[in-house]
Structure 1
Amino acid sequence: MFDTGSSIFTVTTTKINALQTAKPEVVDSLSVSSWGKQINFYGVRAKLPIKFGDKTLNGSVVYYDEQETFQDFYKFVKIWGLAGNVFFLQNTVIIDYKNKTFGVL
């Protein structure tokens, strides 16, 4: 388990992934520092509610950066993107390390 630093965002992913799941109009932007480099992230509103199992989560903006700074990371760890803390502010997260599973209440 590690901190990805994506806590400030609802979801971060590649531009291609973001635009496949969201409307193209940018509704938010944020410039952040990552390893001493400024990166501009752009937020687009998801077309459908974001769910974890049957539970609809709070937040509907998907973020990407034009430089595709983390594209290689996503490919390397074989993930679509990263979820931040916003989804879980009103929820309880249960992590079962023994059985390698987790859930949200």
Structure 2
Amino acid sequence: MAKRKTNEAGSSTGHRADVLRVLGVLKSATADQIQRLSSPHLTYRHTTKDTAAEQKEARTASHRGALNDLRRHGLSVDGGRITQPQLPRPSAGRRRAEVAPPW
């Protein structure tokens, strides 16, 4: 099978549009936040997975792929990881995506 050249992560136009819409409002968000805001009906998907981490991984995979494709096109940037005491699980850093600066 040939490798995709334009969107290597295999994201759909709809998921990329969801990501851009959410980042247009929030400027910075995790893949989980993007999924919950743009596709709240998917929140209860993959409930047959054993752990909450596996459920979240499966639920946000499509939006993470869209973020990776947008990063490759220069439309978003990786905001790094955040570990702050006010997070529900301080030991688990969360990856944030941000809108790429216009320059």
Structure 1 or 2: larger strand share?
A: 1
Normalised TM-score (structure 1): 0.31
Question: What TM-score do you get using the length of structure 2 for normalisation?
Answer: 0.31
